[in-house]
Protein backbone atom coordinates (compact mmCIF):
# COMPACT_ATOMS: atom_id res chain seq x y z
CA UNK A 1 0.00 0.00 0.00
CA UNK A 2 1.56 3.30 -1.08
CA UNK A 3 1.69 6.35 1.15
CA UNK A 4 -0.63 9.20 0.32
CA UNK A 5 0.88 11.96 -1.80
CA UNK A 6 1.41 14.95 0.54
CA UNK A 7 0.89 17.36 -2.36
CA UNK A 8 -2.50 15.94 -3.32
CA UNK A 9 -5.10 18.18 -1.74
CA UNK A 10 -7.99 16.50 -3.52
CA UNK A 11 -11.15 18.60 -3.45
CA UNK A 12 -9.33 21.21 -1.33
CA UNK A 13 -6.87 22.06 -4.14
CA UNK A 14 -8.71 25.23 -5.13
CA UNK A 15 -8.97 26.25 -1.48
CA UNK A 16 -5.19 25.95 -1.07
CA UNK A 17 -4.65 28.26 -4.05
CA UNK A 18 -7.23 30.69 -2.75
CA UNK A 19 -5.59 30.63 0.70
CA UNK A 20 -2.23 31.57 -0.87
CA UNK A 21 -3.83 34.46 -2.75
CA UNK A 22 -5.63 35.61 0.40
CA UNK A 23 -2.36 35.53 2.37
CA UNK A 24 -0.67 37.67 -0.30
CA UNK A 25 -3.58 40.13 -0.24
CA UNK A 26 -3.51 40.20 3.58
CA UNK A 27 0.22 40.91 3.51
CA UNK A 28 -0.34 43.76 1.07
CA UNK A 29 -3.09 45.23 3.23
CA UNK A 30 -0.92 44.78 6.34
CA UNK A 31 1.89 46.72 4.65
CA UNK A 32 -0.55 49.53 3.97
CA UNK A 33 -1.32 49.93 7.68
CA UNK A 34 2.14 49.41 9.16
CA UNK A 35 3.94 52.12 11.08
CA UNK A 36 6.62 54.20 9.40
CA UNK A 37 10.19 53.06 10.10
CA UNK A 38 12.94 55.40 11.29
CA UNK A 39 14.80 55.46 7.98
CA UNK A 40 11.76 56.53 5.96
CA UNK A 41 10.89 60.17 5.29
CA UNK A 42 8.53 61.85 7.71
CA UNK A 43 4.79 61.93 7.16
CA UNK A 44 4.99 65.65 6.39
CA UNK A 45 7.08 64.82 3.32
CA UNK A 46 5.36 61.67 2.08
CA UNK A 47 1.90 61.07 3.52
CA UNK A 48 0.42 57.68 4.32
CA UNK A 49 -1.57 57.88 1.08
CA UNK A 50 0.92 55.80 -0.95
CA UNK A 51 0.78 53.05 1.70
CA UNK A 52 -3.00 52.87 1.44
CA UNK A 53 -2.97 53.02 -2.37
CA UNK A 54 -0.24 50.36 -2.50
CA UNK A 55 -2.33 48.05 -0.30
CA UNK A 56 -5.42 48.66 -2.42
CA UNK A 57 -3.63 48.09 -5.75
CA UNK A 58 -1.94 44.96 -4.41
CA UNK A 59 -5.20 43.51 -3.14
CA UNK A 60 -6.99 44.17 -6.43
CA UNK A 61 -4.15 42.75 -8.54
CA UNK A 62 -3.87 39.63 -6.35
CA UNK A 63 -7.57 38.88 -6.84
CA UNK A 64 -7.40 39.55 -10.60
CA UNK A 65 -4.30 37.38 -11.04
CA UNK A 66 -5.77 34.57 -8.98
CA UNK A 67 -8.95 34.62 -11.06
CA UNK A 68 -6.99 34.64 -14.34
CA UNK A 69 -4.27 32.09 -13.55
CA UNK A 70 -6.10 29.53 -11.38
CA UNK A 71 -6.29 26.99 -14.24
CA UNK A 72 -3.25 24.65 -14.77
CA UNK A 73 -3.13 25.74 -18.42
CA UNK A 74 -1.73 29.09 -17.23
CA UNK A 75 1.18 27.66 -15.19
CA UNK A 76 3.89 29.04 -17.57
CA UNK A 77 2.33 32.50 -17.57
CA UNK A 78 1.90 32.53 -13.77
CA UNK A 79 5.54 31.44 -13.36
CA UNK A 80 6.73 34.15 -15.74
CA UNK A 81 4.71 36.86 -13.98
CA UNK A 82 5.99 35.67 -10.56
CA UNK A 83 9.62 35.89 -11.72
CA UNK A 84 9.16 39.26 -13.44
CA UNK A 85 7.40 40.73 -10.39
CA UNK A 86 10.06 39.32 -8.01
CA UNK A 87 12.77 40.91 -10.18
CA UNK A 88 10.79 44.15 -10.25
CA UNK A 89 10.49 44.06 -6.47
CA UNK A 90 14.29 43.79 -6.09
CA UNK A 91 14.81 46.62 -8.61
CA UNK A 92 12.31 48.91 -6.86
CA UNK A 93 13.90 48.09 -3.50
CA UNK A 94 17.32 49.14 -4.82
CA UNK A 95 15.91 52.35 -6.33
CA UNK A 96 13.95 53.18 -3.18
CA UNK A 97 17.01 52.49 -1.02
CA UNK A 98 19.12 54.72 -3.29
CA UNK A 99 16.61 57.55 -2.91
CA UNK A 100 16.49 57.15 0.87
CA UNK A 101 20.30 57.22 1.06
CA UNK A 102 20.77 60.23 -1.22
CA UNK A 103 17.63 62.34 -0.75
CA UNK A 104 16.81 61.98 2.94
CA UNK A 105 18.18 64.51 5.41
CA UNK A 106 17.77 65.07 9.13
CA UNK A 107 16.06 68.15 10.46
CA UNK A 108 16.25 69.18 14.11
CA UNK A 109 13.10 70.77 15.49
CA UNK A 110 11.60 71.66 18.86
CA UNK A 111 8.33 69.85 19.63
CA UNK A 112 8.18 71.39 23.13
CA UNK A 113 10.05 74.20 24.85
CA UNK A 114 13.61 73.20 25.86
CA UNK A 115 13.48 69.91 23.92
CA UNK A 116 14.69 68.94 20.47
CA UNK A 117 13.95 66.02 18.20
CA UNK A 118 14.93 64.96 14.70
CA UNK A 119 12.91 63.84 11.73
CA UNK A 120 13.77 62.89 8.19
CA UNK A 121 12.82 65.12 5.27
CA UNK A 122 13.21 64.67 1.55
CA UNK A 123 15.60 67.01 -0.18
CA UNK A 124 15.20 68.14 -3.75
CA UNK A 125 16.80 66.46 -6.75
CA UNK A 126 19.00 69.52 -7.26
CA UNK A 127 20.11 72.47 -5.11
CA UNK A 128 19.40 76.10 -5.94
CA UNK A 129 22.24 78.06 -7.56
CA UNK A 130 22.88 79.98 -4.34
CA UNK A 131 23.08 76.75 -2.30
CA UNK A 132 25.50 75.20 -4.82
CA UNK A 133 27.74 78.28 -4.62
CA UNK A 134 27.80 78.25 -0.79
CA UNK A 135 28.39 74.49 -0.69
CA UNK A 136 31.36 74.66 -3.07
CA UNK A 137 32.88 77.77 -1.51
CA UNK A 138 32.76 76.38 2.05
CA UNK A 139 33.25 72.69 1.09
CA UNK A 140 30.16 71.60 3.01
CA UNK A 141 28.05 68.48 2.82
CA UNK A 142 24.38 68.93 2.00
CA UNK A 143 23.46 68.01 5.60
CA UNK A 144 25.84 70.72 6.92
CA UNK A 145 24.38 73.16 4.41
CA UNK A 146 20.87 72.35 5.67
CA UNK A 147 21.98 72.91 9.27
CA UNK A 148 23.46 76.30 8.28
CA UNK A 149 20.12 77.20 6.71
CA UNK A 150 18.39 76.66 10.08
CA UNK A 151 16.96 73.38 8.73
CA UNK A 152 14.75 75.22 6.24
CA UNK A 153 14.60 73.02 3.10
CA UNK A 154 13.13 75.88 1.04
CA UNK A 155 16.47 77.71 1.34
CA UNK A 156 18.30 74.86 -0.41
CA UNK A 157 15.87 73.35 -2.89
CA UNK A 158 13.10 74.72 -5.07
CA UNK A 159 9.62 73.43 -4.35
CA UNK A 160 9.52 71.83 -7.80
CA UNK A 161 12.77 69.95 -7.12
CA UNK A 162 11.44 68.64 -3.78
CA UNK A 163 8.05 67.74 -5.27
CA UNK A 164 9.76 65.73 -8.01
CA UNK A 165 11.85 63.88 -5.42
CA UNK A 166 8.71 63.10 -3.41
CA UNK A 167 7.00 61.79 -6.55
CA UNK A 168 9.98 59.46 -7.15
CA UNK A 169 9.66 58.18 -3.57
CA UNK A 170 5.96 57.45 -4.12
CA UNK A 171 6.52 55.71 -7.48
CA UNK A 172 9.32 53.49 -6.18
CA UNK A 173 7.44 52.70 -2.97
CA UNK A 174 4.33 51.67 -4.92
CA UNK A 175 6.46 49.62 -7.30
CA UNK A 176 8.13 47.86 -4.36
CA UNK A 177 4.98 46.95 -2.46
CA UNK A 178 2.77 46.11 -5.43
CA UNK A 179 5.35 44.01 -7.31
CA UNK A 180 6.25 42.14 -4.11
CA UNK A 181 2.62 41.33 -3.31
CA UNK A 182 1.88 40.22 -6.88
CA UNK A 183 5.03 38.06 -6.95
CA UNK A 184 3.95 36.38 -3.71
CA UNK A 185 0.44 35.74 -5.04
CA UNK A 186 1.77 34.30 -8.32
CA UNK A 187 4.19 32.07 -6.42
CA UNK A 188 1.28 30.70 -4.34
CA UNK A 189 -0.70 30.06 -7.54
CA UNK A 190 2.30 28.34 -9.19
CA UNK A 191 2.76 26.11 -6.14
CA UNK A 192 -0.91 25.14 -6.22
CA UNK A 193 -0.89 24.51 -9.98
CA UNK A 194 2.22 22.32 -9.66
CA UNK A 195 0.53 20.16 -7.05
CA UNK A 196 -2.53 19.72 -9.29
CA UNK A 197 -0.61 18.57 -12.39
Break the chain into its structural domains and give their ranges: 11-196
In angstroms, the CA 182 to CA 75 distance is 15
* Cβ-contact 72, 196 below 8 angstroms: yes
Over 50: is that where the pLDDT of 2 sits?
no
Average pLDDT score over residue span 87-106 = 92
Residue 183 pLDDT class (50, 70, 90 cuts): confident
Ranked by mean pLDDT, the top range of 53-57, 92-96, 110-114, 117-121 is 92-96
The whole-number pLDDT of residue 18 equals 60
**Mean pLDDT across the chain, nearest whole number?**
79
**pTM (predicted TM-score):** 0.72
Length of the chain in terms of residues written: 197
* Cβ-contact 152, 113 below 8 angstroms: no
Over 90: is that where the pLDDT of 190 sits?
no
Over 80: is that where the pLDDT of 28 sits?
no
Over 70: is that where the pLDDT of 12 sits?
no
Over 90: is that where the pLDDT of 180 sits?
no
End-to-end CA distance of the chain: 22
Amino acid sequence: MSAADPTDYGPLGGLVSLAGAIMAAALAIGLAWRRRTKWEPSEEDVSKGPQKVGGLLSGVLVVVIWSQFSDPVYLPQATRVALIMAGGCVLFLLLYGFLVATQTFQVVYSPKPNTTATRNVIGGLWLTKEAVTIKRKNKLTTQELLKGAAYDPDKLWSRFSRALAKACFVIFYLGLTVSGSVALACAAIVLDLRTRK
